[in-house]
Chains A and B, each alone.
With several copies, the nearest count.
Chain A
Amino acid sequence: MTLLYFAWLRQVIGSGEEQITLPPGIGDVRGLITHLKGLDAKYAQAFADEGRIRTAVNQHHAALDAPVSDGDEIAFFPPVTGG
């Protein structure tokens, strides 16, 4: 699956895009975040306050309980500030 990071999340993680294989047993956004936080201190820092993170699954805004599967494009970002 493709993971995308924007704004300060991209800066904390140090990359805007990465490819991962979804580990078995992870079925939703919340599970994916928990998995990432366990990988590395930079993910733990980026996702420390989940209230500051928004998610899109395949370019649609998604909640923490939205299903994810391998092949999806998952994006993490702060609340948007355009306009």
Chain B
Amino acid sequence: MQRIVIQQAPFDLNAEVAALAAGGAAGAVVNFTGHVRAEDGLASLTLEHYPGMTEAEIARMAAEAAARWPLTGITVIHRVGTLKPGDAIVLVAAAAAHRTPAFAACEFLMDYLKTHAPFWKQETRNGETRWAEARASDDAAASRWRKP
């Protein structure tokens, strides 16, 4: 029920959602796709990750989501390598019988992925490349899921 993939290639949303809906247990599939924004003259983005830990960390997040909500499936596909504005970077999908847990789990997974999964972005603008800085708003988003 967890499908976690790190790849350079684009992903196929039709196939991923069909797999989560197959069998008729999932009435609701919530998908997040993150895309490269054409902000401030961005020409391209290059993603690096920590092979091994990336998959392990995402699997831990997915297990936590499955413990919190009655899900029928979770799919996370994160791309690495060089991407252009508009390209998809990541797919996070959560499936459940009803929509409320699917929405909550998808948002939880994204917030944790942004703050815990070991990926780093390099941004190229006007021929210059620099590492993207982490955003404080992402830490704030993740912190709201912490249990007291």
Contacts and interface: CB of A to CB of B under 8 A. Distances in A.
Contacts of A56: 50, 53, 118
Interface in B38-60: 47-50, 52-53, 56-57
A59 to B, nearest CB: 4
B131 A8 contact: yes
Interface of B is mostly: mixed
Nearest to B60: A60
Contacts of A6: 48, 50, 118, 120
Given A6-B118, A7-B48, A82 B131 contact: no
Interface residues of A, number: 16
28 contacts: A4-B50, A7-B48, A7-B122, A56-B53, A56-B118, A59-B50, A59-B52, A59-B53, A60-B56, A75-B53, A75-B118, A77-B120, A80-B116, A80-B117, A80-B134, A81-B114, A81-B119, A81-B131, A81-B132, A81-B133, A82-B78, A82-B90, A82-B113, A82-B114, A82-B118, A82-B120, A82-B121, A83-B90
